[in-house]
Structure 1
Amino acid sequence: MAQSIDFATPPSAPAWQRWLVFSPAARIVIYAALVFVAGYLVHAALPMSGWTGLAASPAQHAFARMTAELVPTVLGYLVLVLLIERRPVRELSLPAVVTRGLPGFIGGVVLFSTVVGLLWLLGSYHVLGVNPNVDWLPAVLIGGIGAGISEEVLTRGVLFRVVEEGLGTWWALVISAAFFGIAHIFNPGATWWSSLAIAIEAGILLALVFHVTGSLWSCIGLHAAWNITQGTIYGIPVSGDRADGWLVSTLTGPDWLSGGAFGAEASVVALATCSLVSLALLIIALCGKTIVPPSWRRNKA
């Protein structure tokens, strides 16, 4: 498998377009502007749906929040790819929902279940009971589907992919992972350690999943499954946010083991488990020679 990138500046583009439209920095700025404008319009329109009022049900509130997350990020991405980059949106092709997204989802369930199993063996995870009447829909819509799609489109589809085109794979991994970790610093119970853990275990892992598969659905499936399995099934806080799960549970022990108030994502168990998967993906990338060098080295070659 040869190294490849999704977009290359058209050879006939004038100099001003190369800098102000097609350069990696310009496209990131354009995407941010598109998301800002679309987000403003969506937030202005949502009250008319009745989903945000006091009389709205929890499910309607969840649909409203999911819409506010999804529409700006996905619409901005489609405009960026179709109108600026002028190429098919291969990384979000609908058939890949099954061929890439479903395996990613299964992998996410297995991965987080492995983390929970290890925490249980180490005496940190305890099941106190079962809550069969848990209202799972809001968490699945917001923390699963909404966060899975919007965060992956933004962090892997735009930031990692576009930075990789300019600075190469190594810098794209570092920058996108750092951004992902810092983005979680304001979550409930967050610390600098939890942000570092998120950056390494999720930021690097999901970027490598995208690099190896070339599909955002793989990342979306894994991300959504991780959140849903963590909160809705095992009842563990998702990135610091309280979760009502099918299992009523608690985490005990030192923060480095349990993750503290932030949840299992700040545990060294999650960090080590995800790092092993990341290492396997990195070996696949190195053996397949898919690591993309910086643009100046590609141009020189």
Structure 2
Amino acid sequence: MRSVFRDGEGHLRNGWKALGFLVVTAVLMGLLMWLQSLLPLALKQVVQPPFAAFLAVLLVSLDFLYLERQPLTSLGMSLDRRAARHFGAGVLGGMVLVGLVAVCGWAAGGYHLERAGNPQVTAVVKAAWLMLGVALFEETLFHGYLFQRVIRGLGAFWAQVVLSLIFCLAHPFNTQMDVPTRIVAMLTTFLAGWMLGLCYLRTRHLALPVGVHMGWNWFLGVMGFGVSGNESHGWWTPVFHGRPEWVSGGAYGLEASIFSAVVLALAIIGLTRWKGSATRDGHTQPEGPSLASNA
């Protein structure tokens, strides 16, 4: 049984570490989400469900790192100037990317934007806070401990494949959408997972993917589009022109638009060609073997 659970050096295989991490995280997340639901209304508005989920992932990550005698910074989590710089660039980059998608959909005659009747600054600020929580939770879950242990076991390429698939399947897709629209939404979500994984791989820090994720989701909401199928109310409201949903994204949001797939594919090409800042900043770590020799 040693070969099943242990590698040649006697260490627990990375595949078991990843599985254990998921199981423990799911249990703690359920508990913390339940506790969050018991908070007074005023606190619920601050400690929203994504932040409870993020806390669960963070605590489990700390526990698993303690067992490995590794610091939290080994996951690419720190509060310093480098992190602030990457986070800010990521937020701006996410907004630019989704803005390009919106412009393409508008140029194709899919919709136009109208100013919301009574835009609220506070609503947009609250949306930014919520999307920060979502980005922290999802990036720590999908590109933190789990992703990095899969990299050690399978190598960076297959880790990207596996985690991008999980990222895609973790998002709900309305069965009422047309089949072509649903296919585009799934493809776009897979590409988004791949792009965010590259953001980590090129910097070896979670600040950039967190920023990109937040900027993308928040600006979607500001423009009034759905965010992965969730309705949002921003400063504008899209008025659709009856074009196929896979052009405009429809009620699901721009993530179901074919233009999202195109823009994300271009972003992936750019990130692949970019040498990144990890080597320059001295934050490198091995990407693991190309085969599952120690998975």
Match of 2:101 in 1: 115
Moved more, 246-255 or 83-92: 83-92
Higher RCO structure, 1 or 2 (CA under 8 Å, sep 6+):
2
In the alignment, which of 64, 71, 92 is matched to residue 77 of structure 2?
A: 92
Partner of 1:211: 201
Aligned to 2:233: 244
User: Aligned equivalents of 1:46 and 1:292: distance in 2?
Assistant: 37
Q: Tell me what 1:223 maps to.
A: 213
Q: How many residues align?
A: 276
SS at match of 1:128: strand
In structure 2, C-alpha distance between the alignment counterparts of 1:161 and 1:278, rounded to whole Å: 19
Q: Which residue of 1 aligns with 2:124?
A: 136
What does residue 185 of structure 2 align with?
A: 194
Q: For the aligned residues, what is the CA RMSD? A: 3.0
Determine the C-alpha separation between the residues in 1 that align with 2:176 and 2:45.
24
Distance 1:124 1:269 in 2: 11
Q: Distance in 1 between matches of 2:30 and 2:189?
A: 29
Q: 1:294 aligns with which of 277, 284, 289?
A: 289
Q: How does 1:1-301 map to 2 (within 5 A)?
A: 18=6, 22-50=12-40, 56=41, 60-61=44-45, 63-84=47-68, 86-90=70-74, 91-95=76-80, 96-130=82-116, 131-133=118-120, 135-142=123-130, 144-186=131-173, 191-200=182-191, 202-231=192-221, 233-252=222-241, 253-284=243-274, 292=287, 294=289
The TM-score with structure 1 as length reference comes to 0.80
Shift of 1:170: 1.4
**Distance verdict in 2 for CA 1:187–1:163, change over 3 Å:** farther
**8 Å Cα contact 1:81-1:89 kept in structure 2:** no
Provide Cα deviations, 1:73-116, integer angstroms capped at 9, x if missing partner: 12222222243352342401111431211111111111111111
More displaced, 203-212 or 87-96? 87-96
Q: TM-score normalised to the size of structure 2?
A: 0.82
Gaps of 5+ in 1: 1-13, 51-55
What 5-or-longer segments of structure 2 have no aligned partner? 280-284
1: CA distance, partners of 2:72 / 2:36 = 30
Contact preservation (8 Å) 2:101, 2:259: yes
